[in-house]
Amino acid sequence: MQTDDPTMSVSSALVWACRRDLYLAARSRAELAVVLLFFLLVASLFPLAVSPDPTLLRAIAPGIAWVAALLATLLGLPRLFAADWADGTLEQILLAPAPLPALIAGKVLAHWLVTGLPLLLLAPLAGLQFGLAADAIGILVASLALGTPILSWLGATTAALTLGARGGASLLALLVLPLAVPVLIFGAGAVESFAAGIGAEAHLSLLGAGLILVWVFGPFAAALAVRIAHE
């Protein structure tokens, strides 16, 4: 990690880490394509496997979309720190004259940009397959926009804790899935409440509060997990 200044500000460290991981992700486009293809396949196969009843499909659409988004996010989590840990880059990041939480935040932001953001763009297509109305699709996209960064932060902290562990990818999934349950409940519940005429504001507000919390405390928790794994 080379910089012109002896120290880096928080914003400079975040931008540097984000740009670096985006550049690395661009070099492994096949892995990104697998994540997006997985989301589309999961969302597309359910209408074929269950009853073609439009009412049933609209009822299960939010849950299916959120489960597909969670599983697709999990596919990209193992590479968040594993490659840097294997080639020694993570140790250099720990020793760099920059705030470690900001560097971690940049990596997580890059992870969301290459996994979560494309899922938002594909969510309307998945909603159309289940017969969701345009306004319901808008609520689904809004819930994913608020909830998928939370999944990225939960996964980042867990991925750091499982660095070097045998079967780390399996252990990562086992640890993240229970933590992600509230996000899935509020995310899918937002669309269901909107469809029932109750309104999605309460669920979206809870997701928004969770998003603020993870961006405030997530960088420090993930940085601590990285230091623990390195030691």
pLDDT at residue 104, as a whole number:
92
Q: Read off the pLDDT of residues 29-49 as tens digits, 9 standing for 90 and up.
A: 777 778 888 888 887 787 777
The domain of 188 spans: 10-230
Q: How many alpha carbons fall within 13 Å on the CB side of residue 1? A: 26
Q: Classify residue 229 as exposed, middle or buried by CB count within 10 Å of its CB (0-12, 13-18, 19+).
A: middle
pLDDT at residue 174, as a whole number:
83
Is 4 inside a domain boundary?
A: no
**In the chain, which ranges are E strands?**
none
- Its pTM stands at 0.87
**Confidence check: pLDDT of 210 > 90:** yes
The pair of three-digit structure tokens given for residue 60, joined into one six-digit string: 């299960």
Q: Read off the pLDDT of residues 155-170 as tens digits, 9 standing for 90 and up.
A: 888 888 887 666 666 7
pLDDT at residue 167, as a whole number:
62
**Confidence check: pLDDT of 6 > 50:** no
Q: Classify residue 32 as exposed, middle or buried by CB count within 10 Å of its CB (0-12, 13-18, 19+).
A: middle
Which residue shows structure tokens 């763009």? Answer: 121
Is 3 inside a domain boundary?
A: no
Contact 1, 93 (CB under 8 A): yes
Taking the CA atoms of residue 229, residue 156, residue 73 and residue 151 in that order, the dihedral angle to the nearest 10 degrees is: 140
Is 5 inside a domain boundary?
A: no
Is 43 inside a domain boundary?
A: yes
pLDDT at residue 186, as a whole number:
94
pLDDT at residue 2, as a whole number:
44
Is 1 inside a domain boundary?
A: no
**Confidence check: pLDDT of 211 > 90:** yes
Is 174 inside a domain boundary?
A: yes
State whether the Cα torsion 134-137-141-142 is positive or negative. positive
Number of structural domains in the chain: 1
